[in-house]
Structure 1
Amino acid sequence: MILDVGHGNCAVLRDGVRCVIVDAKSDKLLYQELIDSGICRIEHLVLSHADSDHIAGALRLLPNEDFDIGTVWINSDSNKDSLKWHELLGLLARLKRDGRLRTRVGICDEQDWDLSLERVLIDVLHPTLTDIGHGTGKAGRVRPEITTNGMSVVLRVLLDGHPALLLPGDLDAAALEQMLSRSKAMTAHVLVYPHHGGHSGDGPENEFAKQLCEAVQPEVVVFSMGRGSFKNPLPEAVAEIRSSRAGTRVACTQLSPNCHAGEPPTAQPLHLLGRPAAGLTGNRCCAGTVRVTAVDGALLVEPRPEDHLTWIEQHVRAPMCNPKVRLPGPRKP
């Protein structure tokens, strides 16, 4: 389940009532999804990196006694000096002392991490052991620059053996280049696009999108983004996906202002799943919360594309995901 948390990320990976959570922007939405699903045990919480739109919900979720939590996984970040990151580290230390959970600092692609559930296989693709050894910081005599986004944990998720999801956090262009130089499999049916469809680095976003999609070969690209936070996703990223991956479905959790400026449509979005979603307030959902399941030997992605497309064609002025809408060419660097 890719929760619509607005500008941020949160994925709930379930095997029955057991689950792994990747990032936690909103504690309220995540709490409601867990309660509605009958989940009281969180095997693992993986926080991809230290940005508040990936960790803020953990500050209230972790001490909540409604849930039994196994292990929280993080990587250090010496560049992050935010109050939320400082509070989270203090909270983890206290809960660990109280015997409420385990913490693991240092998750990379060169270790046999035990994140998987019986039907849900989770593989760590990034960062490397060298990355977490150096930590974030500027380039030095022998070390490259590593940003907070470049340290993002990248996970590949298989459901019943099917390559289902690539969860890249806020993966940036430098980290992608490093990943492409290694031999790890990156293919997945659904790609949650990094950094909510915003800029991935100094280079052209269309080149980043092309390289990423060539490696992942997605059938569906999801932008986990919030209407009103930024003008995401970038049109040049969507244009490249449409151009280089003809037939690939593009779905935004909330309605981008690039697709529909001004007030959102007033029509009731009947295609939504009925799961917790931040965009339900103010009618800001587009695809809303997205569910990926393995059914009869295949992967099913909901909302159903035909229902979603019908709503878009009837109520959205210039939907970037619609091939009939012309998008601008690549921006000059």
Structure 2
Amino acid sequence: MRAYILAFAFGVGLLQQQAELPDLLWAWLLVPGSVGAFLLWRCRVAIFSITAKILLALIFLGAGLFWAAAFAQWRLADALPHEWEGRDIQLAGVVAELPQANENGLRFAFDVEQVLTEGAIVPRRISLAWYNERRKYAENSVSVLPRINAGERWRITVRLKRPRGSVNPHGFDFEEWALERNIRATGYVRKADDNLRLDAMVNQPSYRVERLRQEIREHFIQALPDHAYTGVLIALAVGDQRAILGGQWQIFTRTGVNHLMSISGLHVTMVSGLIFALVYGLWRRSHRLALWLPARKAAVIAGLAAAFGYALLAGFAVPAQRTVYMLAAIALALWLGRFASATAVLAWALLIVVVLDPWAVLSPGFWLSFGAMAFIMLVTAGRIGKMHWLSGWARVQWAITLSLIPLLLAMFQQVSLVSPFANAIAVPLVSLVVVPLTLLATLPLLDFMLLPAHVVLSGCMEMLRWMSDVPQAVWSQHAPPAWAVAAGMAGIVWMLLPGGLGLGLRGGPGLATGFPARWLGAVALLPIFLVLPPKPAPGELWLTVLDVGQGLAVVARTENHALLFDTGPAFSTEADSGNRAIVPFLRGEGIRHLDAMIVTHADSDHSGGALSVLEAVPVEWLVSSLHADHPIQLAASNKRQCRAGQSWQWDGVRFDMLHPTEQSYSNPKRGTNALSCVLKITTIHGSVLLPADIEKSSEYQLIENDGNALSSTVLVAPHHGSKTSSTGEFVRQVNPRLVIFTVGYRNRFGHPREEVMERYRALGSTLLRSDNDGAVLLRFADSKVAVETLRALRRRYWQDT
């Protein structure tokens, strides 16, 4: 049965890679296939039996595919119509999840119960932001925001749009994330006098749980108001990982213990085992209770209930789900008095996860949690011979560390080298001390447990901080190809097979010498590190216009050099285009350092990610028009001002700075857009002009100074297609074959303007937009410019068109 479960899960995963959903009518083919498999199996002929098993595996694969397709069609049908995007809609509904506070206000999930605006169609679950309102009282300006609690019913006026995210190589897919969580529209609450709380609490179990999570979070904040790691304790208690500060997450990531700072399977198992042992020990002391129900069965029920309750309190993430389902399978086996193999338990847990959440296969947590459990079973289940508990623990840690290397490099392009040592310290302290004390503190009258939990956590954090500061704590590299990851995983399996005297497989004789030449598994790991991504040939230019919403970020690569032109916008104090899009792209493509970073001007949609890039990637020199006291200038070690006339060559590719002039800096009346650095890159295969946010006056100045230099094959439209730029004279002078508009979906400025696009169309230019096309990949090679867009290249059925 395990093979058929794997086939079903493979079918679910196969569906998630499709650009379009299949017609569910094809699912009827599974019926005659099932009948055929049954008839072949009934023949009792060996070859027919094998054929039946193969056919049955294909049927399970198809069942998984069509099960996921049916889920997807049902969820996609609950959509916000395009005609209702950006319009005021009045709704009544319930705050469905734990509200998340940020510097701009609150964000929360909202279950729509009633659409009060006539004719409007709204999905059942949406994500809303309620922004701070600034009101002035006397001489002070204060923020006014109503208190929002999980489980409350509200009547509010909102503006919505369909889920839309940036699409970049090696980047996060927001649209897939929203679909998995059934968030079918996003938006914000409009300021309105009739926004009103209708009920303080809606009496439904799911809302009660969310209110409890919020109350625990607030109680922890009140109990430890100024303590450094209150957010970590909140995350361990209720799964609110956003309570952990960005700097702390960096320590956890660099030391490889970030799995402990969520409600991991280890924590759930520990809580379940503790309750099991407690109930078993007490129940067996009562003869009346033991006669009514055996102590083991009572303990099974209590342990499983504790695991489910803790996982529910933590938001029921994939690792917690996997653990609960595995414990449920074990509990069922104990209840029935039957033995259940470890692999069978894991397989049934896998089936339950993908049946209830077909999009779980896209989550890194799915692969990391199931992968870790599979390798733990590989080195523990079915082995014979006694082993000291310390040796067994070391073997498990070695298996986990080794087995996750290919997955971590494939998904995150980095792996912690100090992880084995950090986990050796953090696992016992966090799982056996901090988590129990934290959970006890959630009970009435036991909140004093928070202080010792924080003290132990602080000591652990000091050790982790020291390890994190080790210069080579993290190995970072390019994203390996899929075949190299598969080969590496196979090699690790071979390395971890039994290899010593007295070890064997359950049900068979012990192997005197174990499996031979296990060291060959290390050879299979080498392609992960040695197979490098392709790079431009001499004289070629590879240009990637990243999708950063309403902003600009362009990466230009030659054979041996890399340049970043602008860094996109900042989204919050801890999230920006640098750490969300640019750094993952650079790391995934194997770009270990930047020879130059150009920040064209001070506007936040062009400079917002610069500090994150400077922190994560070595930058040889910074070129900008920023003031000397700007934080970006202060963070850079080697910097210079961009000026017209600067030029250099890399690997047969020429770079020319066309703007601003010396006089531009001396004019105090010029705004930041007028100081935008304008760069032209020229190859023998074509050229590209990057004018940032210049406007009409700067365009006229460029034409006057050297109009012939403007002619280019590709143009990234100035100022995102604003009506204050792209004058007719400038457009004709550049005469581009391809124009790229870097704009955010339904941006409030209305960029790009229709009249601007019409000027380029009149010249016969091809137009691309980052909000519609995602990142644009350009290769200047072979006397032409090859163009690909990531939304077309990596099309998935959930992406909005």
TM over 0.5: yes
SS in 2 for 1:45: strand
TM-score by length of 1: 0.67
1:20 to 535, 539, 563: 563
* 1:122 Cα deviation after fit: 1.0
CA distance in 1, matches of 2:605, 2:769: 17
User: What residue number does 1:183 align with?
Assistant: 706
Q: Which has the higher helix share?
A: 2
| Superposed counterparts of 1:1-333, under 5 Å | 1-16=544-559, 18-25=561-568, 26-27=577-578, 28-64=580-616, 67-77=617-627, 86-92=630-636, 96=637, 102-104=638-640, 106-110=641-645, 112-114=646-648, 116-132=649-665, 134-135=666-667, 137-138=668-669, 146-159=670-683, 161-184=684-707, 185-200=709-724, 208-230=726-748, 231-243=750-762, 245-246=763-764, 248-254=765-771, 286-303=772-789
Q: Higher Cα Rg: structure 1 or 2?
A: 2
CA distance in 2, matches of 1:46, 1:89: 11
CA distance in 2, matches of 1:103, 1:155: 17
One-letter code aligned to 1:218? P
Q: Deviations over 1:158-179 (max 9, x none)?
A: 13x2342110000110011111
Is 2:599–2:606's contact at 8 Å kept on the other side of the alignment?
A: yes
Q: Deviations over 1:263-300 (max 9, x none)?
A: xxxxxxxxxxxxxxxxxxxxxxx111111112322111
Identity score, percent: 26
* 1:238 Cα deviation after fit: 1.0
SS in 1 for 2:692: coil
Residues 1:156 and 1:163: Cα distance change in structure 2 (over 3 Å): farther
Is 1:17–1:41's contact at 8 Å kept on the other side of the alignment?
A: no
Task: Give the number of the structure with larger relative contact order, counting CA–CA contacts within 8 Å between residues 6 or more apart.
Answer: 1
CA distance in 2, matches of 1:169, 1:121: 19
| Runs of 5+ unmatched residues, structure 1 | 79-84, 97-101, 139-145, 255-285, 317-333
Is 1:17–1:37's contact at 8 Å kept on the other side of the alignment?
A: no
Is 2:552–2:742's contact at 8 Å kept on the other side of the alignment?
A: yes
* 1:19 Cα deviation after fit: 0.2
CA distance in 2, matches of 1:290, 1:222: 8
CA distance in 2, matches of 1:77, 1:194: 22
CA distance in 2, matches of 1:162, 1:128: 28
Is 1:189–1:219's contact at 8 Å kept on the other side of the alignment?
A: yes
One-letter code aligned to 1:172? E
Deviation above 6 Å: which 4+ runs of structure 1?
A: none
SS in 1 for 2:655: strand
Is 2:664–2:674's contact at 8 Å kept on the other side of the alignment?
A: no
CA distance in 2, matches of 1:18, 1:76: 24
CA distance in 1, matches of 2:627, 2:594: 24
Q: Deviations over 1:213-243 (max 9, x none)?
A: 2111100110001113332111111122212
SS in 2 for 1:215: helix
Q: Deviations over 1:22-76 (max 9, x none)?
A: 0001112111111111110200001111111111111111022xx3210001124
Is 1:222–1:251's contact at 8 Å kept on the other side of the alignment?
A: yes
Is 2:686–2:780's contact at 8 Å kept on the other side of the alignment?
A: no
CA distance in 2, matches of 1:192, 1:211: 16
SS in 2 for 1:20: strand
Is 2:600–2:676's contact at 8 Å kept on the other side of the alignment?
A: yes
* 1:91 Cα deviation after fit: 2.2
CA distance in 2, matches of 1:11, 1:225: 13
One-letter code aligned to 2:767? V
CA distance in 1, matches of 2:676, 2:699: 11
Q: Deviations over 1:101-127 (max 9, x none)?
A: x111x22113x443x321432111111
Is 2:627–2:633's contact at 8 Å kept on the other side of the alignment?
A: no
One-letter code aligned to 2:682? L
Residues 1:176 and 1:182: Cα distance change in structure 2 (over 3 Å): same
Is 2:686–2:785's contact at 8 Å kept on the other side of the alignment?
A: no
CA distance in 2, matches of 1:59, 1:221: 29
CA distance in 1, matches of 2:604, 2:728: 28
One-letter code aligned to 2:773? A
Is 1:108–1:126's contact at 8 Å kept on the other side of the alignment?
A: yes
TM-score by length of 2: 0.29
Residues 1:20 and 1:223: Cα distance change in structure 2 (over 3 Å): same
Is 1:209–1:241's contact at 8 Å kept on the other side of the alignment?
A: no
User: What residue number does 1:81 align with?
Assistant: none
Residues 1:162 and 1:127: Cα distance change in structure 2 (over 3 Å): farther
One-letter code aligned to 2:659? H
Residues 1:119 and 1:37: Cα distance change in structure 2 (over 3 Å): farther
Is 1:154–1:168's contact at 8 Å kept on the other side of the alignment?
A: yes
CA distance in 2, matches of 1:210, 1:199: 11
Residues 1:232 and 1:169: Cα distance change in structure 2 (over 3 Å): same
* 1:17 Cα deviation after fit: 5.3
Is 1:163–1:187's contact at 8 Å kept on the other side of the alignment?
A: no
CA distance in 2, matches of 1:50, 1:155: 16
One-letter code aligned to 1:226? G
CA distance in 2, matches of 1:197, 1:294: 24
CA distance in 1, matches of 2:659, 2:753: 24
Aligned length: 243
CA distance in 2, matches of 1:172, 1:229: 19
Residues 1:68 and 1:88: Cα distance change in structure 2 (over 3 Å): closer
